[in-house]
Amino acid sequence: MRNLPIHIAISPDLYTKNPDSSDLGRRIVCTSIEMIDELGFEAFTFKKLGSRIGSNESSVYRYFESKHMLLLYLINWYWSWTEYQLAFAVHNIESPREKLEKAIRIFTQKIDVDNSFSHINEAILGRIIIAESSKAYHTKDVDKENEKGFYKTYKRLVKRVSEMILEINPSFEFPHMLTTTVIEGAHHQRYFSEHLPALTDFEEGKNNIVRFYTDLVFKAIENR
């Protein structure tokens, strides 16, 4: 997938004006990624963002209704991008086990920059997803927002991986649980490894997160 100019389409429900349609919009997105990473989501404001990009608050509001909608946009962008990574990784691979192994690696390995999408730094965005994405759905509005389709990118990805699992073992009862356990779990382990190391068994360069979850999945779907 490297260096191919693939375009990631985001549902118009997630923005007021498409940030990909103007230079200002793209600067809003890429600078917001930097700033959320630097300041954390709570300390990040549209006012600060506006002044950093040499514009102002009201211009940002013309693209995104709220901070929260911007976060949802970023999350959906990230999962769409991951979906492409996944599609590319399993392309032309026959073996269902090999396909699943590649998928697990994508979710559990360190997130790397992908040159295909110039203005977005996926490594930084990955850190935001790890640290902030749960705040997007742990809200009193989840149900309403779920109906509006704000989480559909993630759900589609989970469905895709679940199908890979069923390809290997069609009688496995819990493919969705296993998939979300791996995706969310890997994020936790990455976060813990940096901030709460007592909660993990991370060791630099030993690929423990990938190894742990790969082993976990293949043992789980085995018919004893």
11: left (phi over 0), alpha (psi -120 to 50) or beta: beta
Q: Which does 67 bind (CB under 5 to 8 A by kind): DNA, its own copies, none?
A: DNA
Q: Which does 110 bind (CB under 5 to 8 A by kind): its own copies, DNA, none?
A: none
Alpha helices in 40-174 (DSSP H): 46-52, 57-63, 67-90, 96-108, 122-137, 142-147, 152-168
Contact residues for 131 (Cβ-Cβ < 8 A; gap 6+)? 40, 41, 191
Answer for the pair 64, 15: CB distance below 8 angstroms, yes or no: yes
Give the footprint of DNA on residues 98-127 (CB under 7 A): none
Q: Is 57 a residue that touches DNA (CB under 7 A)?
A: yes
- 């199908």: which residue's tokens? 163
| DSSP label at residue 166 | H
Nearer to its own copies, 101 or 114 (CB): 101
Q: Which does 200 bind (CB under 5 to 8 A by kind): DNA, its own copies, none?
A: its own copies
58, 95, 115, 139: which one contacts DNA (CB under 7 A)? 58
The span of 4-12, 29-37, 54-62, 202-210 binding DNA (CB under 7 A) equals 54-62
The site map against DNA for 13-52 (x = CB under 7 A) is ----x----xxxx----------------xx-xxx-----
Alpha helices in 109-173 (DSSP H): 122-137, 142-147, 152-168
Torsion of CA 84, 89, 92, 95, to 10 degrees: -130
Nearer to DNA, 95 or 134 (CB): 134
Nearer to DNA, 11 or 55 (CB): 55
Q: Which does 81 bind (CB under 5 to 8 A by kind): its own copies, DNA, none?
A: none
Query: What letters, b where the CB count within 10 A reaches 16 and e where it falls short, cover 190-201?
Result: beebeeeeeebe
Cβ of residue 76: shortest distance to its own copies, in angstroms? 14
Cβ of residue 175: shortest distance to its own copies, in angstroms? 7
Q: Which does 24 bind (CB under 5 to 8 A by kind): its own copies, DNA, none?
A: DNA
Q: Is 67 a residue that touches DNA (CB under 7 A)?
A: yes
Q: Is 194 a residue that touches DNA (CB under 7 A)?
A: no
Nearer to its own copies, 91 or 135 (CB): 135
Measured CA distances, 69 to 63, 65, 135, 166 (Å): 10, 6, 12, 34
